[in-house]
Amino acid sequence: MTLEQLARILSDGNHSLAVASADGSVTTYDSRGVADLYRLITCSPDKLDGAMVADKVVGKGAAALMAAGHIKALHTRVISSPALKMLEDHDIEVKFDQLTDSIINRQGTGPCPVESLCKTTDDPRECIGLIHDFLIEKGIINQ
């Protein structure tokens, strides 16, 4: 499996996330935002360890989850500069179509709230705590 093949799986299936685990299995996900990555890192971290990932949009929060999960490589359509830096700092191969200064929220009215949360730290574990609190506050996960 190559990153390009994984990106095609993501695109052809209109998924939000595709993960090719180190064991060769490929799993796709369809939740919005970072919810699926958060669930993976907290419930099935072995799926991310050494994995290749394809994601539509990667901000710093998603990058922190991927770095903490020790992925091997990422392909994304859009990535923010802070996310790219975090992934490169963790020796993760990154391929992207578009680099942007920051990720914009779904409404197009301001910055992505998860990227904004993670702006103050470069520690993926700190970002996970911030993301956890955000997902609880929004009712996306239970405590």
Query: pLDDT for 37-48, tens place per residue?
Result: 999 999 999 999
pLDDT in tens, 16-35: 999 999 999 999 999 989 99
For residue 141, the model assigns a pLDDT of 87
From the list 44, 51, 35, 34, the residue with the least C-alpha distance to 142 is 35
For residue 142, the model assigns a pLDDT of 83
For residue 93, the model assigns a pLDDT of 98
Residue 17 burial (C-beta neighbours within 10 Å; 0-12, 13-18, 19+): buried
Sequence-distant (≥ 6) Cβ neighbours of residue 48 within 8 angstroms:
19, 21, 40, 41, 66, 69, 70, 71
Strands 52-58 and 17-20: what pairing? antiparallel
Which segments of the chain have a pLDDT < 70?
A: none
**Across-strand partners of 94?**
74
Phi, psi (deg, nearest 5) at residue 125: -65, -40
For residue 73, the model assigns a pLDDT of 98
Q: pTM of the entire structure?
A: 0.95
